[in-house]
Structures are given as structure tokens and as C-alpha cells.
A and B are shown apart, each in its own frame.
Chain A
């Protein structure tokens, strides 16, 4: 294996890990506050891709603005989920989880009816060309994802540790009853958590839109991986999700390079089963889910 292959694999893993982190962090935030497990997280990711498809390819708005707009649009869908599904089923994790499976079906059908089911939507990359690092070619489009993730995740970190509402959110995740006693509105916090969760999934999907085929069913694989990641990381832990995302990103890329993607998925799933058996709380988890 030459240096270029190693660098190529490393950067690919970094990019994949970044996108996993972006998707999985959203799941972890939602689960941390009142245990909202969103089955349709992959569909929110898909919605983000379609926002870029509509705004950038059809309307002609600049790519970066379309990506930024994906945040509020998909966050709104997330908040609708919270209001209509998670709030009525609060206290029953499985019910919320199953109900969002239904919501995922609805989103898939709506998108399929609007933009076509079978037709794969290819989105032209706004940044053609690639750079060469030590003989490995990496396209600009892929290279954009890593800094974008760094900005998003550090923004989230700032919000959660320095901003009042973010602190309230963390308080809610730690002890909802105590948080309510401090005058924090639980409903506002679950809504905020789903806003962030949807927004992150939306931006993730938006950034990936020019790289992967955009179909109404594209979210499924990402959701599966994201769930594996949050379980490995410890359901409600955002740090755990980020760490696990990069671990899984590296495992997936290395196994795909050496064997094939089916084997990579098998190894990922097996890794998760192993973590669950050895440490049911996940890598960084405090509570057993």
C-alpha cells in the first residue's frame, strides 16, 4: 500500500466520519432530552438533500446559501415531529420511535410524489476539481465537509456550554424534574432539541447532496449507521457520538478499501453488538438505556 492510498483512505475516513458525526449528533441531542428516539432521522437527512436539489439545482440559489437554508427548513420538520409525535408519546420511548417510523414513510411518499421515486436526482457539484495531497486526489466538494462539521459541532458546543438556552437544554438532559423546578419549560426544551436535531440532519444531507445519489430512500443507510454510532457512543452523549462517528467512519472506509461495502456494514454492526455486550452503556454513556 503506497502513501497515496493511505492518505486517500485517511481523508475519505475523515470526510465520512464528519458526515456521520453531523447526523449522529442530531440523534444524540434528541435522545438526550426526554429520550426522543427519531426513527425518521434518515428522512430528515433526505429532506436536507432535497432542499439543496430544489433551491440550488431548480431555483438557482448559490450552493452555500441553500445549505444554510436547509437548517431552518429541516429544523421546522423536526419541530413538527416533536409537537405531533414526541410530545403526546412522552415517557414511552418505543411508541415515539415506532410512530416516527410512520412519519418517515409519510416523508418518503411526499417527496417521491413531488420529485419522482425511481429517478435519481443528480446534483452538479458547485466546486468542481480536486486537490492533490501526497499523490491522493480529493475533490473540493468532499473536502468542504470536514471544516463544515468542525464549525457546526463547535457551534453546538458553544451553544450548549455558553448560551443560556443551551445550558437549559443540558440541564433538561441531566435531570428533567430538577430543570422544571428551575423554571425551565420542558416543552420548549424538547422543541429546541428537535430543532437542533433536524437542523443538523438537514445540513448533513445538504452537504452530501452533490456526492451521493439523491432518492427518497437515501436516508435509510445513514440512519442505520447513525443509530449504530449513537449506541456505540452511549445514547445521549454528544461527545460519545462524535468519537464513535469517527471510529465508525474509519472502520467503514478501511474495510471498504480492503474488501467491500457489504462487509464494511457487517463489521460496523458487529462492532456495535460487541460494544453492547461488553459495555451496554456505550463508550461514553452514563445511563443504561
Chain B
């Protein structure tokens, strides 16, 4: 007999989701497929951001880190003409290295100062892109990033990722990989050590966790995955410029994480999913959309601070309360 415990739930659930994403390209239009690809990239981004937030460090530069990955991809693929299996790992490593450079001064600050200082460092990088026409292309950015392909035309193993369906599957593989890694980290000793920093910094320091080192490490791992998301994004949209990585985008990333919550692994997934749906539904009201999302952000922070992931527990607590009241009355 199959025992239906939590891990089985999880296994069945993720299999169902994966099967859905595997068959999805056959069910939707080409336009929707592009949206799904972007959605997957956003999932990687939000999950890597959540990893940062587990230590209690919310940053304002995650979108810039994604941009670093995208710019590294653009420069390496277009100017150096390297194939994707060299470009993508290098983009991730470059982003992780930039994260390291960010993290060393940032680990000296805490809370709000950390938040603002990360923003300032991010703006610094964005201005570097704006200022240097070579190799970053200044305000126009990098256009015509070559699409990735495996093999040459005519060879039997040739896969052309101009085809959006192929690129979708490519992204899906990386998303699943990234999520598996993050899930393992979340359940590991290391992940727990990082979470303990958020719960009680001094206590975790006293039991031998090197807080400063851990925070730098989280920043780098998170940056590595943001770089992956950026690299995929650069290949997907084919051209990048500094305006792709403005503050507004960062606020949307924060909205996903606030709406979903960051305590559990599922929070950001719920956040990205629900907000993407809202985003698509409000397409006719495009100019009012920022206001709507601003309102959502305020309402969640004020009324439901833990995000949607805490909703079941809240409802349960409420029901318990009413049933107890009934018993008493």
C-alpha cells in the first residue's frame, strides 16, 4: 500500500505540475507560450530572491543581478560569439562574482540600511551600463543577441531554439533544475542555518554559525540563480537595455514575494502565479495597472503580512476560534 504522507503528496503534486508544463505548449497559442516562458524565468527569479529573504535580508538589487546575467550573456554571446553552453555558466559565475562584490560591503549593514545600500549599489551598476557604450551599448543596450542552438543545420542532433516551443522546453529544464537545487537547500542543514539567522541572529551566532559569511554565501548563491534567470531572459527577448532593469521591475518582484510570502518554499511560486494571472487579466487596463499592483502591495502588507501562504493557517485559526465559541456558548 502506498502510504500517503507529505513527501508522497509532494512527489505527486510536483509530477502533476511538471506534466502540465510539459504538455502545455500543445494547448496554448504561440503568444501564450512566450508568456509561459517568461513565467518560468520569473519563477527562478522569485525563488532565488526568496533564498535571500530567508536570512532576513531583503535586497533592492536583485533585478540588477538578473541584468548582470543578461548583460554577461549579451556580451559573451554577441561580441565574443561563444556558444550557449559556455555563455550560460559563465554568465552565472559572473553574476555570482558581482554578488560577492556587493555582499562584502553590504554584510556590514543590517535591515533597512542593507535594503537601501543594495539599491544604491544596484543603481551604480545600472549607470555603468548607461555610461559605457563599449561593450554595454549605453542607453540603447545590446541588440541582436544570437539565439542559441545545438549543432549546425542539417546535423541529426540539430535543435533550433528560434522555435519558441524548443526554447520553452529549454527554459523548463533549467527551471526544474533550479527549483530542485533550491528545494534541497531549503531542506538542508545549510538552509536551516540560514533561516536561523533570520529567527535570531545572536543565538545562531552563539551556536557557531558565521553570520557574516553565511549572508555573503546566500547572496552569491542567490545571485548565481538570478544570473541564470537573466541569461535565459537575454536569450528569450534577444535585446536588452538598462530600462529593462529599472526600479519598477524590482517592485514587481517584491510584490510577488510579498503576495506569496517567503517563509515556505511555495510562497513565491503562489505569488508569481497569482500575480501573473492578475497581470494578464488586466491587460485592457494597462495604464491603471501600476496603481492596481500598488494597491495589492499595500493591502497585503497591511492586512496579510505573511502573504498567501499563511492564509490556510489563518483560516484554520479563525474556524477553531468560532467552533470553540460555539462550544462555549
Chain A residues in contact with chain B, CB under 8 A? 35, 37, 84-85, 88-89, 92-99, 101-106, 108-110, 112-113, 117, 220, 224, 227-228, 231, 235, 260, 262-263, 265-266, 269-270, 272-273, 276-277, 280, 288-289
Contact = CB atoms under 8 A, between A and B. Distances in A.
A265 B293 CA distance: 29
Judged by DSSP, the binding face of A is helix
B251 A272 contact: no
Given A94-B111, A95-B305, A276-B113, A105 B121 contact: no
A99 B113 contact: no
Given A98-B254, A113-B287, A262 B130 contact: yes
B115 A105 contact: no
A106 B295 contact: yes
B172 interface: no
Nearest to B296: A102
Contact of A93 (B111, B127, B288, B302): B111
20 contacts: A84-B302, A85-B301, A88-B302, A89-B301, A92-B305, A97-B115, A101-B251, A102-B293, A102-B301, A104-B294, A105-B251, A105-B294, A106-B295, A228-B120, A231-B116, A266-B131, A269-B124, A273-B105, A276-B113, A289-B113
A102 B297 contact: yes
A84 to B, nearest CB: 7
Given A113-B288, A277-B108, 7 more contacts: A84-B298, A93-B112, A98-B297, A99-B302, A101-B297, A106-B294, A265-B123
A85 B120 contact: no
Contact of B112 (A228, A266, A273, A289): A289
Given A99-B297, A105-B294, A277-B105, A262 B131 contact: yes
A109 B248 CA distance: 13
B198 to A, nearest CB: 12
Interface in B237-268: 247, 251, 254-255, 258
Contacts of A273: 105, 117, 120-121, 124
B319 to A, nearest CB: 25
Q: Indicate the member of A102, A103, A117, A262 with the most B CB atoms within 10 Å.
A: A102
Contacts of A97: 112, 115
Contact of B121 (A84, A109, A224, A269): A269
A52 to B, nearest CB: 23
Nearest to A94: B58
Contacts of A266: 124, 127-128, 131
Contacts of A110: 291
A112 B131 CA distance: 29
B120 to A, nearest CB: 5
Contact of A272 (B58, B120, B293): B120
Contacts of B120: 227-228, 231, 269, 272-273
Contacts of A220: 247
B110 interface: yes
Contacts of B305: 89, 92, 95
B290 interface: yes
B113 A280 contact: yes
Q: Which 3 A-B pairs have the closest CB atoms?
A: A105-B294, A102-B294, A102-B297
Contact of B302 (A85, A227, A231): A85
Interface residues of B, number: 38
B276 interface: no
B285 to A, nearest CB: 10
Contacts of B128: 266
A230 to B, nearest CB: 9
Nearest to B293: A105
Contacts of A235: 112-113
A103 B287 contact: no
Contact of A269 (B127, B258, B291, B295): B127
A280 B294 contact: no
Contact of A94 (B115, B123, B247): B115
A214 B288 CA distance: 20
B109 interface: yes
A89 B128 CA distance: 36
Interface string B159-193: 00000000000000000000000000000000000
Nearest to A262: B131
Q: Indicate the member of A95, A108, A263 with the most B CB atoms within 10 Å.
A: A95
Given A112-B287, A272-B120, A288 B302 contact: no
Interface in B81-108: 105, 108
Interface string B266-299: 0000000000000000000001101101111110
B290 A276 contact: no
Contacts of B295: 102, 106
B291 A106 contact: yes
Contact of A105 (B58, B111, B290): B290
Q: Indicate the member of A85, A113, A235, A273 with the most B CB atoms within 10 Å.
A: A273
A270 B120 CA distance: 8
B230 to A, nearest CB: 21
Contact of A109 (B124, B290, B301): B290
A263 B131 CA distance: 7
A105 B116 CA distance: 19
Contacts of A270: 124
Interface in B112-167: 112-113, 115-117, 119-121, 123-124, 127-128, 130-131
Contact of B288 (A104, A109, A265, A277): A109
A103 to B, nearest CB: 6
Interface in B296-329: 296-298, 301-302, 305
A37 B116 CA distance: 10
